[in-house]
Structure 1
Amino acid sequence: MKKDFAVIGLGRFGGSICRELSREGMEVLALDLDEDKVNEYRDIASHAVIADSTDESVLKELGFRNIDHVIVAIGDNIQASMLTTLILKEMGLKMITVKAQNDYHEKILNKIGADQVVHPERDMGKRIAHNIISNNILDYIELSDDHSVVEVKAGDKMGGRTLVDLDIRAEYGCNVVAIKRDRDVIVSPMATEEIKESDVLIVIGADKDISRFEKNLVLED
């Protein structure tokens, strides 16, 4: 079902979200104080306006109460980010996602009711670090402070062996939830499934367990 979104703050992070949501055919209201940034998104977003998100009357006038999901992507102004989040929460918005600058900012956002807090720079840093450790580590997504999902190429250490042989769950405490094979995806693969070197495994587990799994079965010698 088509949803209405608003993106507040059109820097690199907010702008990227605005472009992608618009590309997916969503209704997007783009808002920023910077006239140049707003002009950049006039032909991308459904609506692009120059406005101060810390002014509750402005948000009400723009119809924010009818928006399904607001992304607060304000850059360096932590005070404006927090005040905007608080106003949106008090207006009864259904879903509020906020970009945090640091852990202290995140704690306050959680206390004032943000539904989701993201650290794009920190999270992207983790993904890139895992990607550059090995060509076989294709992606890394943090699920929580302690658990993640990693997407890895099987390579010669796992190729030709079954999940029973590797015993990943018992040895490393991780679960292989799916295997990508060419254009097919094998969900919840059988323990007897033989892995091919070109397969991509989606593995979920605690970070410490995933680290051991990567060192022993993914990283090249």
Structure 2
Amino acid sequence: MPKKEFAVIGLGRFGGSICKALSEEGLEVLAMDLNEDRVNEYAQIASHAVIGDSTDEAVLKNLGMRNFDHVIVAIGENIQASILTTIILKELGVKLVTVKAQNDYHEKLLNKIGADRVVHPERDMGKRIAHKIITNNVIDYLELSDEYGLIEVEAYGHLENQSLLDLDIRARYQINIVAIKRGKEVIISPLAHEQIQKNDILIVIGAMKDIARFERNELQSQSF
């Protein structure tokens, strides 16, 4: 099976980090930016690095953008360039286009013009950090949609040595513990009699309002 090919347009902090991560996985990555210094920086990291204007349809055509499996538009503060690039990519027939949004208005426009995925890296990272600050238990937080999320939470305090049945979290908070990480072991869909052990990590999914109630009532009291 041939390797998937990716293109990253915009080599700021966000685009640069994606380019590095994909390249480290051994994937084919085209890195593109208007800034020559940034392109030179990634010339030894990406499979190919080019200086180019992504708002020029001819440039994207000549680079064969339509043949890439996934194009990430990580353009910085130039919202107009981000939008125009996205329109051109979709008109060229790119299968999957992920775009970095600067704000909610930008996100709405990107959704209207056909972006397949829209990401808010600064906002999402802010939410993750806030959850970690509020409760020391929370290891990671992921927003799945406008209403639903997933958290990884370290089990200690009164959560230890209780079974899922004893805690009755599903009935009390309308959220689900979908997995338990225990060292190198991962218990998928744990049964009600499963007893939580010290240093277990619980994977919890549900409506964000319900997760927030769970955090307030079960986790914040354990913060220190």
TM-score by length of 1: 0.98
Percent identity among equivalent residues?
Answer: 70
How far apart are 1:197 and its partner, in Å? Answer: 2.4
Match of 1:120 in 2: 121
Q: How many residues align?
A: 221
Q: Is residue 7 of structure 1 aligned with residue 5 of structure 2?
A: no
Helix, strand or coil at the partner of 2:115: coil
Match of 1:16 in 2: 17
Match of 1:87 in 2: 88
Match of 1:200 in 2: 201
Report the Cα distance in structure 1 between the residues aligned to 2:141 and 2:66, rounded to whole angstroms: 35
How far apart are 1:6 and its partner, in Å? Answer: 0.1
Match of 1:137 in 2: 138
Report the Cα distance in structure 1 between the residues aligned to 2:76 and 2:120, rounded to whole angstroms: 12
8 Å contact 1:151–1:202 — kept in the other structure? yes
RMSD of aligned C-alpha atoms? 0.8
CA deviations 1:150-198 (Å, max 9, x no partner) are 0000111210100000111100000000000011000000010000121
8 Å contact 1:172–1:210 — kept in the other structure? yes
Report the Cα distance in structure 2 between the residues aligned to 1:187 and 1:36, rounded to whole angstroms: 47
Letter in 2 for 1:139: D
Report the Cα distance in structure 2 between the residues aligned to 1:134 and 1:166, rounded to whole angstroms: 19
Report the Cα distance in structure 1 between the residues aligned to 2:158 and 2:150, rounded to whole angstroms: 20
TM-score by length of 2: 0.97
- Segments of structure 2 that go 5 or more residues without pairing to the other structure are none
Q: Is residue 175 of structure 1 aligned with residue 176 of structure 2?
A: yes
1:67-86 map, 5 Å: 67-86=68-87
Match of 1:190 in 2: 191
Helix, strand or coil at the partner of 1:86: helix
Report the Cα distance in structure 1 between the residues aligned to 2:183 and 2:170, rounded to whole angstroms: 24
8 Å contact 2:135–2:215 — kept in the other structure? no
